[in-house]
Amino acid sequence: MVVPPESEELPRANIKRIVKAKLAELARSQLGQERDIPVQKEAFQAFAESTRIFIHYLSATANDICRETKRQTINADDVLRALDDLEFGEFVEPLRASLEGYKAGRKSMPKKSSTSTSKRKTSTTKNKDKAQKAFREGDGEDEEETMQ
């Protein structure tokens, strides 16, 4: 099996949590009891790799849809249409409902203040100025080391 670059690996803990939750849900609905279904480590790797490949395939299909309409930015409708094109149409309506819930939740959240961002910028600028001054004065420290 080809190992994906580290930047493409999905968080194993998330994959494990999602798989375990779904298996527990299935055990409750099918067996009427909560049961921990054992899963081999290799199976979790297979889930992760399958998920990564599916994301690539879905992204490429959504990108094609976006290009067909002469746009450069993929939107949620492109992803939903890509799911339908890939014959996963049964997921479109539940996903659409989930997206609507997400949008409604975001609208009800208070807006973030930009003061934290401006404070960070001011602090970074001050640190950079101090580092440059110390470097010019021959403080013995390298500018890059002081900034870190």
Q: Residues 61, 65, 70, 76: what is their CA dihedral angle, to the nearest 10 degrees?
A: -100
Cα radius of gyration (the chain):
24
Q: For the segment 37-50, what is each residue's pLDDT rounded down to a tens digit? A: 899 999 999 999 99
Q: Which stretches of the chain drop beneath a pLDDT of 50? A: 139-148
pTM value? 0.63
Name residues whose C-beta falls within 8 Å of residue 34's C-beta, 6 or more positions apart in sequence.
24, 27, 28
**Among candidates 83, 33, 75, which has minimal Cα distance to 54?**
83
- Residue 5: its pLDDT value, please? 66
DSSP annotation of 114 reads T
- Residue 65: its pLDDT value, please? 97
Task: Give the span between the Cα atoms of 76 and 73, in whole angstroms.
Answer: 10
- Residue 53: its pLDDT value, please? 95
- Residue 63: its pLDDT value, please? 97
Where exactly are the structural domains of the chain? 117-147
- Residue 146: its pLDDT value, please? 40
